[in-house]
Amino acid sequence: MSASAQPRRTAAAGGSSSPTIGLRSTDFVASTWRLVGGGSTFRIGTFNPYIVEIDAASPNNSLRIISAGWIGVGTGFPQDKLHVKDGNLRIEQDNADNHALLNFIANGNTWEIKNNKDTGRLTFFAPGGGATTASFKFDRAAQENLLRVGVLGGDTVDINGDLVVTGTISNPDYVFTPEYALESIDDHAAYMWQYHHLPAVGAGQVNAQGQAMVNVATRSQGILEELEKAHIYIEQLHGEMVANEVRNAGQLEAIKEAAIAKEAVVEALKGEVTALKEKVTEIEALKALVQQLLVRDRGQPQG
């Protein structure tokens, strides 16, 4: 089937119609394209509403395509494939079933920036995983200045809120379970002095440029594990200290009782010594009396 195009131009009759050029094709599917210059608007399309409408009051260079194929919006000298000058780029989706998307494709790899129709969140993700696997999300409820980069300092990330980290980490409360093999205080001390880091925290790492690298999630887990183990050690040492205090108190009481008993013995010995001294005094008195008697007897004549 051959196709034919028949241009048709109609002039305004009494101002009731717009000048129109119609292009009609009868090949495959019959259709008519119209170029309508009515009033202050130039229109292109198959029927009202038209696909393209250009207002006569539009400023110069509202839209220009240069020889390189670059498109300028608001500029006659576009500097890239699409150059928008003195205006904003707006992506609006009125269909409730669709998200508002902006795609970036390079070497077959696609990234999307999406205004999620269901949550209102702005998400960054690689298509195929679904909205729930987006790599980066902004919620409309986020407070102002929640995340700032380079504001306080060129090398400073400022987070004005709670930082929640999830991933391949776990809460180290397992150290309180009976099956956890808690190393002794001596073994723990020997490890840290030999390797110069705490066992659960791990050694420090650096990148190829010699800069320190920290995995915040695993480091936080390791620090918490070591803190909980430290409290276990504190409880153990406290128990030993209390046991020593009880043991020492018992020993002290025994020493006091022994001292009291010794004091009683000493007092008894003192009494015995005093009694012995009295006996000695009596003996000395008897001796003196005997001496006197002997002397007297010697001085008397024999009968």
**194-223 per-position pLDDT tens digit:** 999 999 998 988 889 888 888 888 888 999
The Cα-based distances of 76 to 62, 67, 71, 83, 215 in angstroms read: 8, 12, 9, 10, 50
Q: Is 23 part of a structural domain of the chain?
A: no
Residues 140, 185, single domain; the answer is: no
| Residue from 191, 174, 192, 193 nearest 232 by CA | 174
Q: Supply the pLDDT for residue 5.
A: 47
Asked whether residue 148 falls in the same domain as residue 182, the answer is no
**Same structural domain for residues 276 and 190?**
yes
The whole model's pTM is what? 0.57
User: Which run of H or E residues covers position 208?
Assistant: none
**Cβ–Cβ < 8 Å for 199, 184:** no
CB–CB of 34/25 below 8 Å?
no
> Does 246 map to a domain?
yes
Q: Which residues contact 262 (CB under 8 A, 6 or more apart)?
A: none
Residue 301 lies in a domain: no
pLDDT for 33 equals 87
Residues 6+ apart with CB under 8 A from 64: 71, 72, 75, 76, 78
Whether 24 is covered by a domain: the verdict is no
Q: Are residues 193 and 256 in the same domain?
A: yes
The answer to whether position 136 is within a domain reads: yes
In a shared domain, residues 116 and 179: no
Give the helix/strand (H/E) hosting 109.
strand 109-115
Residue 63 domain-assigned (yes or no): no
The Cα 213–Cα 196 span in angstroms is 17
Q: What is the pLDDT of residues 241-256, one digit of tens each?
A: 999 999 999 999 999 9
Alpha carbon distance, N-terminus to C-terminus of the chain: 197
| Owning domain of residue 210 | 172-282
Question: 127 preceded by cis ω (within 30°)?
Answer: no
The amino acid that residue 119 corresponds to is T
Regions in the chain scoring below 50 on pLDDT: 1-7, 9, 11-16
| CA separation for the pair 231, 238 (Å, rounded) | 10
Query: What is the count of structural domains for the chain?
Result: 2
The pLDDT score that the predictor gives to residue 2 is 40
Phi, psi of 260 (to 5 degrees): -60, -45
Judge whether 176 and 229 are in contact, CB under 8 Å.
no
